[in-house]
Amino acid sequence: MPVEHSCLTCSKTFTSANGLDCHARAKGHAANPFFCEECDVSFISNLALQSHASLTHDPYCKGCKHLFIDMAALNQHLFDSPIHNWCFDCSRDFSFPRALAQHQNSLAHKGRDFKCPFCNGMFKSPSGIAHHIESGCHKVTRHQVTAAVHNMQINPNISIKRVTGPVHPPNSTTTYIATEASFDGTKYKCFLCTRKFNTLWGLNAHLNSAAHDDEEFRCPKCQREFTLISGFVQHLESRVCGFAKPDEIGGYFANLTAWFLRLLRI
């Protein structure tokens, strides 16, 4: 049965697969991989996707442009052929074996094993929890989260600004509200940057997101900078620079969360 196009990292849903893909690319999030490109429909599992494919589509290999007698013959071809690096869980082909291996180690193939400390929500990664909390769903703003993390004085230091005493979240924050005056004839234009949006709602969501916040955190190893702690944790999970080993990230985030909760409750 078809389901909404959803982000596996932050659980946000979209009306189209293209919208989900743009979101996932922009945020570095993971999209639901069980998706039929021909029908623009998502499914809850690979079994549901395969059932849809067998009932709706011919057993055809796009890469080889070859039609098979049934799905079993097509699957055997995808398994045996050296030109395919096929993920049978997601029904996706990859250009190289390494790309397939990276995909199989990604969030798409992980269970929801991480629990939010404020609710019963389950997530696939520590960064998913961090993004969930920063979104304000528990009446905690992203500014409170950032201030709490700065107060931890983590070693090695990840704060860009020098912290010499207690850091407090701002007493007030600026809320921008765009109006129809932002429409330039084709799209709604952000007056703080050059980005344009199809809807006024999209522009207002952008204005009140972290898009125009200062960079707050820096990776001690590669010096890459991040606006939110969720971005930094996601960077650790990606293992791009190898600052933290895979088995260390969970423990690192657990310690971060424990300190964070204590500081928020003071």
The pLDDT assigned to 185 comes to 92
- Mean pLDDT (whole number) for 216-235: 89
Q: Which two structure tokens, joined as six digits, stand for 95?
A: 């250009």
- Mean pLDDT (whole number) for 187-206: 89
Q: Is the pLDDT of residue 171 over 90?
A: no
The pLDDT assigned to 187 comes to 92
Confidence class for position 209, pLDDT limits 50, 70, 90: confident
List, in order, residues 6 or more apart from 126 with CB less than 8 Å away: 114, 233, 237, 249, 250, 253, 257
The pLDDT assigned to 189 comes to 92
SS3 labels along 70-103: CHHHHHHHHHHCCCCCEECCCCEECCCHHHHHHH
The predicted model scores a pTM of 0.58
Domain ranges of the chain: 2-109, 114-265
Least confident of 25-34, 89-98, 125-134, 236-245: 25-34
Confidence class for position 172, pLDDT limits 50, 70, 90: low
Q: Is the pLDDT of residue 21 over 90?
A: no
The pLDDT assigned to 218 comes to 92
